[in-house]
C-alpha cells in the first residue's frame, strides 16, 4: 500500500472525473483519489481514509452516492406550495405531480434529480411559509426512497439555509444556491452573500457531506453591484469561500451560457463547473466539452417552456443525444482543460 500523503490543499483533479458526494474535509489519502468531489471516501481508485477515522467511513458508506462524469441533473419544478399566491390547497396534487415527474426521469435514466419550488411566483426571500417547507420536505423524503441517485434542492428566492435544512432532514446530496458570494439584485430585491451562514449551518447540522453548488453571475438577476468583477473573479472568491462547485448560466432561463464564460470558469478553478441553463437536444453535444455537469429543466417541458408540463418525448430526444455524445467524448478522452478550446 502506498504511504500516507498529507496535504492542506484540495485535490487537483482532472476535468470531468466521477463525482463522489461526500465531505470536503478529508486531509489523508491512501492513495490519492483523482475524482472531482472525492474528499475522503472509499472509491474505485483505492482505499481513502477520512481524517484517519476508518469507523467514520464505514458508518457512512451506505449513504455515498456517485455522479458520473459529465452528469445530468434533471429539474423537477414543484407545483405551487402552501403560502404562495398560486397554491390551490391540494397538497396531494402537488406531491403526486412531483413524484410523477420523478418516475419519468427515472425511466429515462437521468443521473440526478434537482427539486425546485419554481411555481411559487412571485418569489420571496426567506423566511418562507412554514407549511410550504413542510410539504417540500415531505416530497423530497418520498423521492429519496424512490430514487437511488443523488438528489439536490433549491428553494427560491435565495432561501439557501432552508434548502440546506431540508436536504439534511431528507438525506439529500447537494443544494443549489444563489448569492453565495457578493451581492446582487434579484426579482425580490437585494440579495446578500451567504457563504458564511451556509457553511456554519452545515457544520451545525453535521451535514458536511451535502455539497454546495453556487451560481455565479446568476440568471434573472442584476449584477451592477459587482460590475467591476469578471466571472473569474467571482469564481475565485467562491472557491476561497469553500464552495464545492460553481454553476454558470446565461441571463435568463432557457438561454445557453456564453462559451467565453465557461472558458474563463475552467481557467479560474479546478472545481467542477456546471451549466445551469439553456441546454437542448440541439446544443448539448456542442457544450459537453465545456462543463462537468448539466442542470436541465426547461427543454424537457412542453415547447421548452420553464413551467409547462413535462413531456417524455422531449426528454427522450435529449437523452438519445446526450447519452451517445457523452459516451463518445469520454471514450475519446476529449475532456481536456478548456485552455485547449
Instruction: Identify the pLDDT of residue 34.
Output: 42
Q: Do both 199 and 294 map to the same domain?
A: yes
Q: Do both 197 and 60 map to the same domain?
A: no
Q: Which of 14, 39, 66 is the last residue of a domain?
A: 66
- Distant-in-sequence, close-in-space partners of 171: CB < 8 Å, separation ≥ 6: 63, 141, 144
Q: Do both 162 and 294 map to the same domain?
A: yes
pLDDT tens by residue, 201-250: 999 999 999 999 999 975 555 657 778 899 999 999 999 999 999 999 87
Instruction: Identify the pLDDT of residue 42.
Output: 33
Q: Do both 46 and 84 map to the same domain?
A: no
Q: Do both 143 and 99 map to the same domain?
A: yes
Q: Do both 108 and 153 map to the same domain?
A: yes
Q: Do both 128 and 203 map to the same domain?
A: yes
Q: What's the whole-model pTM score?
A: 0.81
* Element housing 202 (H / E): helix 195-204
Q: Do both 41 and 82 map to the same domain?
A: no
Q: Do both 126 and 258 map to the same domain?
A: yes
Say if residues 337 and 266 touch (Cβ distance below 8 Å). Answer: yes
Q: Report the SS3 class of residue 122.
A: coil
Which residues, in sequence order, are bridge partners of residue 215? Answer: 247
The CATH number for 90's domain is 3.20.20.70
Q: Which of 51, 66, 81 is the last residue of a domain?
A: 66
Q: Do both 154 and 278 map to the same domain?
A: yes
Domain hosting 291: range is 68-340
74, 150, 276 from 280: Cα distances, Å? 12, 22, 12
- DSSP, residue by residue, 241-281: TT-SEEEE--SSTTSPPPHHHHHHHHHH-SS-EEE-S---T
Residues of the chain with pLDDT under 50: 1-17, 22-36, 38-62, 336-341
Q: Do both 74 and 48 map to the same domain?
A: no
Number of domains into which the chain is organized: 2
Q: Do both 55 and 79 map to the same domain?
A: no
Instruction: Identify the pLDDT of residue 335.
Output: 53
Amino acid at each position: 500500500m502506498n504511504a500516507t500523503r498529507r496535504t492542506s490543499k484540495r485535490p487537483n483533479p482532472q476535468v470531468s472525473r466521477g463525482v463522489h458526494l461526500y465531505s470536503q474535509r478529508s486531509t489523508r489519502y491512501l492513495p490519492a483519489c483523482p475524482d472531482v468531489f472525492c474528499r475522503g471516501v472509499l472509491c474505485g481508485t483505492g482505499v481513502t481514509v477520512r481524517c484517519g477515522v476508518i469507523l467514520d467511513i464505514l458508518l457512512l458508506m451506505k449513504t455515498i452516492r456517485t455522479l458520473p462524469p459529465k452528469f445530468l441533473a434533471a429539474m423537477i419544478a414543484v407545483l405551487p406550495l402552501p403560502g404562495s399566491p398560486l397554491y390551490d390547497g391540494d397538497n396531494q396534487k402537488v406531491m403526486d405531480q412531483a413524484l410523477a415527474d420523478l418516475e419519468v426521469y427515472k425511466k429515462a435514466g437521468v443521473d440526478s434529480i434537482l427539486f425546485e419550488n419554481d411555481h411559487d411566483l412571485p418569489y420571496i426571500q426567506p423566511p418562507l411559509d412554514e407549511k410550504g417547507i413542510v410539504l417540500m420536505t415531505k416530497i423530497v423524503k418520498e423521492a429519496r426512497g424512490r430514487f437511488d441517485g443523488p438528489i439536490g434542492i433549491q428553494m427560491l428566492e435565495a432561501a439557501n439555509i432552508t434548502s440546506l435544512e431540508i436536504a439534511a432532514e431528507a438525506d439529500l446530496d447537494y443544494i443549489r444556491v444563489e448569492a453565495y458570494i457578493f451581492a446582487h439584485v434579484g426579482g425580490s430585491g437585494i440579495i446578500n452573500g451567504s457563504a458564511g451562514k451556509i457553511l456554519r449551518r452545515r457544520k451545525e447540522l453535521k451535514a458536511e457531506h451535502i455539497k454546495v453548488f453556487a451560481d455565479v453571475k446568476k440568471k434573472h438577476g442584476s449584477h451592477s453591484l459587482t460590475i467591476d468583477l469578471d466571472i473569474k473573479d467571482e469564481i475565485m472568491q467562491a472557491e476561497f469561500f469553500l464552495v464545492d462547485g460553481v454553476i454558470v448560466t446565461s441571463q435568463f432561463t432557457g438561454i445557453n451560457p456564453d462559451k467565453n464564460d465557461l472558458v474563463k470558469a475552467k481557467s479560474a478553478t479546478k472545481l467542477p463547473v456546471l451549466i445551469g441553463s439553456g441546454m437542448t437536444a440541439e446544443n448539448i453535444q456542442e457544450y459537453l466539452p465545456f462543463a462537468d455537469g448539466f442542470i436541465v429543466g426547461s427543454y424537457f417541458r412542453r415547447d421548452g417552456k420553464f413551467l409547462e408540463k413535462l413531456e417524455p418525448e422531449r426528454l427522450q430526444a435529449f437523452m438519445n443525444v446526450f447519452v451517445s455524445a457523452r459516451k463518445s467524448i469520454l471514450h475519446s478522452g476529449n475532456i481536456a482543460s478548456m485552455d485547449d478550446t
